[in-house]
């Protein structure tokens, strides 16, 4: 968390900066664990000050701000968020971008746990630095044939495979549990044991769940960490069927009780009645 829907919501929410020129990139004072920023903020500011923002894009779970033949890559990881409004508090504000012109516009990269990263890369280096061998096809643009081929090539549990960003970019723990529940697939089912029909169903459900979550501007969980670019909560958490609902009755079948197991050190939620192994 944040996953593809939350990061896509961030990207759409900060599109107001497109066409604006960057006045200054700075690092606010922060007493907490510093995040990784490469190169230094001073160097980033020298390269971007005065440059016009050409576009904003998403790469997996990363926000990219494109300007002056470079991309400023913001990776929120567990607790990061990108905002145009004052963040939840100023104590965990990690990076600030001020823009020229009127009305006044500022962008904040806020991260409570300090796990996020910031890096500036030349446009020509992004493929080699971020994508090649490190990031699979995006979950919203991957074709079914490639999706099916990738699943058939591994015997890992389907839930574990869905979290592998080298296999598929953008899906994380929360949405993987939701997709598998809707598809009625047990999270421990080996990928190469899935029938083509089940893979087709999972593919279609994945697209539907992610797009629906984007329409609801992502999920804001009980810790309240994730907010959209205007510092408002998402609402897809109200649509969750199994995530973080251990020991509750299954809302899909009303017969099973949602269970929590641990896979690859991450919590998985599923209904043993709906998702038979």
Our answer to whether residue 266 is catalytic in this structure is yes
Lookup: tokens for 90: 């100023």
Our answer to whether residue 233 is catalytic in this structure is no
Which residue among 3, 6, 8, 217 is the active-site one? 3
- Name every residue whose Cβ is closer than 8 Å to that of residue 3 and which is 6 or more positions away in sequence: 61, 170, 171, 172, 173, 174, 175
Residue closest to 162 by CA, chosen among 197, 198, 136: 136
Q: How many CB atoms lie within 10 A of CB 166?
A: 10
Beta strands, E only, the chain: 22-26, 36-38, 53-59, 62-67, 70-75, 80-83, 93-99, 105-111, 117-122, 259-263, 266-270
DSSP label of 249 = B
Which residue among 52, 77, 260, 266 is the active-site one? 266
Our answer to whether residue 28 is catalytic in this structure is no
Residue closest to 202 by CA, chosen among 185, 221, 186: 185
Cβ 55 vs Cβ 18: under 8 Å: yes
Our answer to whether residue 61 is catalytic in this structure is yes
Q: How many CA atoms lie within 13 A of 48 on its CB side?
A: 32
Which residue among 27, 61, 150, 199 is the active-site one? 61
Which residue among 2, 5, 87, 187 is the active-site one? 2
Gap between the terminal Cα atoms of the chain: 27
User: Which residues are the active-site residues?
Assistant: 2-3, 61, 266
């Amino acid at each position: 968390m944040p996953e593809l829907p939350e990061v896509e919501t961030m990207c759409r929410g900060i599109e107001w900066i497109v066409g604006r020129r960057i006045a200054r990139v700075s690092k606010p004072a922060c007493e907490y664990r510093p995040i990784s920023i490469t190169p230094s903020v001073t160097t980033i500011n020298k390269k971007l000050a005065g440059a016009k923002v050409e576009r904003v894009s998403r790469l997996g779970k990363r926000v990219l701000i494109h300007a002056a033949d470079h991309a400023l890559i913001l990776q929120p990881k567990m607790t990061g968020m990108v905002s145009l409004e004052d963040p939840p508090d100023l104590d965990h504000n990690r990076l600030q971008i001020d823009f020229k012109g009127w009305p006044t516009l500022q962008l904040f990269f806020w991260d409570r746990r300090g796990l996020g990263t910031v890096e500036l890369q030349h446009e020509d280096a992004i493929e080699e630095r971020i994508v090649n061998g490190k990031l699979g096809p995006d979950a919203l643009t991957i074709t079914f044939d490639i999706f099916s081929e990738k699943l058939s090539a591994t015997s890992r549990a389907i839930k574990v495979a869905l979290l592998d960003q080298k296999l598929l970019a953008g899906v994380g723990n929360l949405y993987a549990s939701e997709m598998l529940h809707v598809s009625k697939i047990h999270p421990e089912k080996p990928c190469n044991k899935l029938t083509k029909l089940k893979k087709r169903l999972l593919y279609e459900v994945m697209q539907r769940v992610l797009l629906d979550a984007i329409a609801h501007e992502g999920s804001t969980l009980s810790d309240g960490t994730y907010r959209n670019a205007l510092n408002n909560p998402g609402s897809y958490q109200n649509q969750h069927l199994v995530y973080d609902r251990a020991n509750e009755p299954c809302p899909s079948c009303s017969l099973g009780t949602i269970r929590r197991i641990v896979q690859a050190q991450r919590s998985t939620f599923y209904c043993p009645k709906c998702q038979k192994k």
